[in-house]
């Protein structure tokens, strides 16, 4: 059952993904620029199947590319979706939880923030994001969840690059994680998944 969303995503990555340089996968045609809502919906259902027994009442992501998969996941759960906003710098604001996120890919630092209105100690949160690379975005969201006194129930990732640091950091912290597509390596411009034989 669940496997079909994973298979659909992996097939789509093979068909439409493009490997840039040695560690970047471009998926603009269905995830990061143009969005395939049908694929997002199957992935949302898949995250729901995986995490449905955890008492989750809120989905949290970061703008912008996390929003599409997060909204479809929220739809499956029937719960609200909150996206952290990015700012170059934030003047102190008592109404916001903030955290700093460094992007290795873009070599810039962003502050991300969530209004105190939309996250509280009553919340059991599922983080959803499009990519897991070095884990900086997830780390920043986790800091915000802690500041709000909310509970982190788990992390759902669309595409994990297992050869970068993020996965290890999350496993080490003992946080439940479910990545739909897990990329083991890029081999001469070809994507190799963890679950396929080379």
Query: Which residue from 4, 34, 64, 120 is in contact with ligand G4P, where contact means CB under 6 A?
Result: 64
Q: Collapsing DSSP states into helix, strand and coil, what is residue 22?
A: coil
Could you say whether residue 4 binds ligand G4P (CB under 6 A)? no
- Residue 154 in contact with ligand G4P, rule: CB under 6 A: no
Longest dimension (CA), the chain: 52
Task: For residue 84, state whether it binds ligand G4P (rule: CB under 6 A).
Answer: no
Cα–chain center distance at 52: 17
Candidates 29, 54, 57, 103; binder of ligand G4P (CB under 6 A) is: 103
Residue selected from 40, 62, 81, 127 as contacting ligand G4P according to rule CB under 6 A: 62
Q: What is the residue-wise DSSP string for 24-48? A: EEE-IIIIISS--HHHHHHHHHHHH
Check the annotation: does 106 bind a ligand: no
22/69 Cα distance (integer angstroms): 26
160 three-state secondary structure: strand
Residue 136 marked as a ligand binder: yes
Q: Are strands 96-103 and 18-20 parallel, antiparallel or unpaired?
A: unpaired
Which residue from 3, 18, 24, 187 is in contact with ligand G4P, where contact means CB under 6 A? 24
Which of the ranges 44-52, 62-70, 90-98, 146-154 carries the binding residues for ligand G4P, by CB under 6 A?
62-70
As annotated, the binding site for xanthine includes: 25, 32, 161
């Amino acid at each position: 059952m669940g496997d079909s969303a994973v298979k659909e995503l992996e097939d789509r990555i093979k068909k439409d993904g493009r490997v840039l340089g040695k560690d970047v996968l471009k998926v603009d045609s269905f995830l990061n620029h143009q969005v395939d809502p049908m694929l997002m919906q199957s992935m949302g259902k898949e995250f729901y199947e995986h995490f449905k027994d955890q008492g989750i009442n809120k989905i949290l992501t970061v703008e912008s590319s996390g929003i599409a998969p997060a909204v479809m996941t929220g739809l499956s759960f029937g719960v609200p979706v909150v996206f952290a906003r990015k700012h170059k710098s934030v003047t102190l604001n008592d109404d916001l939880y903030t955290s700093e996120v460094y992007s290795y890919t873009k070599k810039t630092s962003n502050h991300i923030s969530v209004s105190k209105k939309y996250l509280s100690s009553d919340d059991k949160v599922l983080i959803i994001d499009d990519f897991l690379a070095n884990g900086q975005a997830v780390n920043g969201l986790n800091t915000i969840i802690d500041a709000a006194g909310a509970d982190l129930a788990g992390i759902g990732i669309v595409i994990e690059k297992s050869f970068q640091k993020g996965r290890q950091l999350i496993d080490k912290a003992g946080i439940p994680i479910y990545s739909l597509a897990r990329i083991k390596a890029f081999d001469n411009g070809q994507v190799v998944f963890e679950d396929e034989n080379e």
